[in-house]
Amino acid sequence: MAINVKVGEAKTHLSDLLAKVEAGEEVIISRGDKPIARVTRIAEDGGLETLLADMRAFRERAKPVTREEILAWRHEGHRS
């Protein structure tokens, strides 16, 4: 899930926003209601450890999934 901020707020809180980007968040900067930029972390070529850390960070931010949703996905696209 991306963090949405206006240009002025991005300028005021740039250090905090960059810390969130380093932690794996994505920041969308808008002028008025129009998004103009997306700030994401630059991928490091850190190998398996970096990949696992990124996946763990993503899982911490993801919403929980119910058993029913998993079972529905299992049969998604199957013909009856």
Each domain of the chain, given as residue ranges in start order, spans 2-75
Q: Report the sign of the C-alpha dihedral through residues 69, 58, 62, 60, in that order.
A: positive
pTM value is: 0.55
Q: 54-70, pLDDT tens digit by residue? A: 888 888 888 888 999 88
What homologous superfamily is domain 2-75 in, according to CATH? YefM-like domain (3.40.1620.10)
**Whose CA is closest to 6, among 34, 35, 30?**
30
- Is residue 80's pLDDT more than 70? no
